[in-house]
Amino acid sequence: MHASLLLHFEDEAASAARIAAAAGIACAAIERHRFPDGELKLRLPATLPPQVALLRSLVQPNEKLVELLLAARTARTLGATQLTLVAPYLAYMRQDIAFTPGEAVSQRIVGRFLAELFDAVITVDPHLHRVTTLEEAVPVPRTVVLSGAPLLADLIARLRPDALLVGPDEESAQWVAQAAAQHGFEHAVCHKVRHGDRHVEVALPAVPVQGRAVVLLDDVASSGHTLAQAARGLLAAGARSVDVAVTHALFAGDAGQLLFDAGIRHVWSTDCIAHPSNAVSMAASLAGALR
How far apart are the C-alpha atoms of 152 and 130, rounded to whole Å?
25
Catalytic residue among 56, 192, 212, 275: 192
DSSP β-ladder status, 278-280 and 26-34? unpaired
How far apart are the C-alpha atoms of 78 and 76, rounded to whole Å?
5
Judge whether 64 counts as a catalytic residue: no
How far apart are the C-alpha atoms of 67 and 64, rounded to whole Å?
5
Could you list the active site residues? 192
